[in-house]
Amino acid sequence: MPKAKLVLKDGTIFSGESFGAQTGAAGEVVFNTSMVGYPESFSDPSYKGQIITLTCPLIGNYGVGDSNTDKDRISKRFESEKVQITGLIVSEYSENFSHWDAKKSLSKWLKENNVPAITGIDTRMLTQKIREHGTILGKIVIENKKDVEFYNPDIDNLVDQVSIKKPKLYKKGKKTIVCVDCGMKNNILRSFLDRNISVIRVPWNYDFLGAKLKFDGIFLSNGPGDPAILYPLHENIRKAMSLKIPTFGICLGTQIMALASGAKTYKLKFGHRSQNQPCIDQETKRCYITSQNHGFAIDEKTLKPGWKVWLKNANDNTVEGIKHKTLPFFSCQFHPEATPGPTDTMHFFDEFVAML
């Protein structure tokens, strides 16, 4: 394997070996503590612009499946049509893989998608550094390959890069929702179609009210980057809320709902990226174990009258979901659709469907 190194913006260097694409890359270095689910995570558009560090010590041992699609032409195994992460950092990569569904190695999949990766890194030390410092910019440098400049993904509209470019209809049942695609995971789409809901999937900045579409509810998807810069979407949702249309948001979607209502968001020190985050329902006191991938959160103190905190993270007490006290608006910061992770909150989709 060629030599490679991860260079952090503060000058710290971690040396290892390359097992992905032989190219440099730059972005925000984050960590994920999940033990499984790397094909689903790496294809999640919310990771756009990020170099992901996996704390699980052995990665690649069950390979990667194929990209077959289902009857609705949605990938059966991946959360988008390609690898979305900017780069990958692991402690030990396993070239030998074994799984009944595996078709290729992780290395081959990353190379096909032009994504660099490094093995042989002390990921425990790197993770501790991120926890103390906060997320930090970094770049992957491959031996004898062109160097790259540091890059801060927060300055760009990443949502525009991963959103669908024109509306698309998935025809199912009599009830119809508009899904605002900010980088929507495939299993969110599957979750609605499995419930016999027709979906009009629209770009993040599409004026679905001005287009005179006929629909019963609005869904706001997950996605990458800073939600505060998505001004056209804030305005579209603000108008929709004034019409009291049932609205459900997941991940970035919950931040958009807060911003549209007049609240504010902020960047977390190192974010939440794992499959075992405990969240407490403030109404029932029930604890859900959730799958998470986000770097921003809602500032509870800025919530406007009529809104309340519905869910909170049991680890750091940050807002994990909000509800309107009288109108049909609710959201969660984590991923009830899972893939990867637990399905404790899959019933949130049923609750939204019941509102339509």
Strands 117-119 vs 87-89: parallel, antiparallel or unpaired: parallel
The residue from 28, 40, 79, 337 that is catalytic is 337
* Residues 322 and 331 sit within 8 Å (Cβ to Cβ): yes
| Amino acid letter for position 5 | K
* Residues 64 and 304 sit within 8 Å (Cβ to Cβ): no
The residue from 179, 251, 279, 332 that is catalytic is 251
The residue from 272, 294, 324, 335 that is catalytic is 335
- Burial class of residue 166 in the structure, from the number of CB atoms within 10 Å of its CB (0-12 exposed, 13-18 middle, 19+ buried): exposed
Return d(Cα 2, Cα 213) in angstroms, integer: 54
The question of whether 337 is a catalytic residue gets the answer yes
Return d(Cα 39, Cα 82) in angstroms, integer: 10
Give the CA distances from residue 313 to residues 114, 286, 287, 296, 299, in Å, rounded to whole numbers and listed in that order.
35, 12, 9, 13, 13
Q: How would you classify residue 112: left for phi > 0, otherwise alpha for psi between -120 and 50, otherwise beta?
A: alpha
Return d(Cα 255, Cα 107) in angstroms, integer: 35
How would you label 86-112 residue by residue, b for 16+ Cβ within 10 Å and e otherwise?
bbbbbbebbeebeeeebeebbbbbbbe
Residue recorded with tokens 């996605």: 223
DSSP-derived 3-state class of residue 15 = strand
Angle CA 121–79–209, to nearest 5:
130
The question of whether 335 is a catalytic residue gets the answer yes
Q: Tokens at residue 109, please?
A: 């999949």
Give the CA distances from residue 253 to residues 7, 22, 54, 322, in Å, rounded to whole numbers and listed in that order.
33, 35, 25, 11
Report the chain's C-alpha Rg in angstroms. Answer: 20
Catalytic site residues? Answer: 251, 335, 337
